[in-house]
Amino acid sequence: MADLNEEVVLKTIAERVKNGESSSGVLEELRGGMEILGQRFADGEYSLAELMMGAEIFRECMDMIEPSLEKNGVSTRGRVVIGTVKGDVHDLGKNIVAAMLRGSGFEVHDIGVDKPPEQFVEKIREVDADIVGLSCLLTSTLGSMRKTVSVIRESGLDIKIMIGGGVFSRGIESTVTRIEGADGFGKDAVEAVNLAKEWVTATP
């Protein structure tokens, strides 16, 4: 997994699923590979393109093992709702973060792109999420992100709000301080996962 050998990984997972091997055991190995992948990216050994490739391999593997995981029940670190705010249809960064979170043991509910604040609130309540991740690429949608954070806070939900996206990586990181109500900022997928881990670990 961590070596990005897609053909070998997918063939191996397919064989193990076919042979009735424990899906939770397979998942733990995949998660271990994703942890290594994330560390290699953080260390500069892997590029963003390689991180994206790893996330896609992981997604394909999850498609194979999820049916048995749902049947047997597998514990998770916590539940995360993630989506791109209203007015923004870009999802590359969001998809990478979602895959990395899944690879680190989180139950992720991706609601997609161009979503209004109310849809985030609805999904948070539906799945009893611990964390919500809001993404945007366009400077023009920062207002939408602020509104979404505000609506979530006004709803009275007890939840950690993480913000991120390409808009914060173009020299305007100070903008984060003006998103009142947000709990943290994920500069990239690795930092987002580390922040999520900190939050759920700190929860009593």
- 6-36 confidence digits (pLDDT tens): 999 999 999 988 888 877 788 888 888 888 9
* Three-class secondary structure of residue 65 per DSSP: helix
Query: Which run of H or E residues covers position 30?
Result: helix 23-42
Work out whether the CA dihedral 8, 13, 14, 20 comes out positive or negative. Answer: positive
Q: With bands split at pLDDT 50, 70 and 90, how would you rate the model's confidence at 176?
A: low
The upper half-sphere exposure of residue 172, i.e. CA atoms within 13 Å in the direction of its Cβ, equals 13
Distance CA 195, CA 202 (A): 11
Chain-wide mean pLDDT for the chain?
87
Q: Where are the domains of the chain?
A: 6-72, 79-202
Tell me 169's DSSP state. Answer: G
Q: With bands split at pLDDT 50, 70 and 90, how would you rate the model's confidence at 83?
A: very high
Could you say which of 3.40.630.30, 2.40.33.20, 2.60.120.10, 3.40.50.280 is the CATH number of the domain covering 79-202? 3.40.50.280
- Among 26-40, 131-145, 176-190, the least confident range: 176-190
Fold of 6-72: 1.10.1240
Say if CB 163 and CB 169 are below 8 A apart: no
- pLDDT score recorded for residue 163: 93
Distance CA 192, CA 198 (A): 10
- Phi and psi based region of residue 112 (left: phi greater than 0; alpha: psi -120 to 50; beta: remaining): left
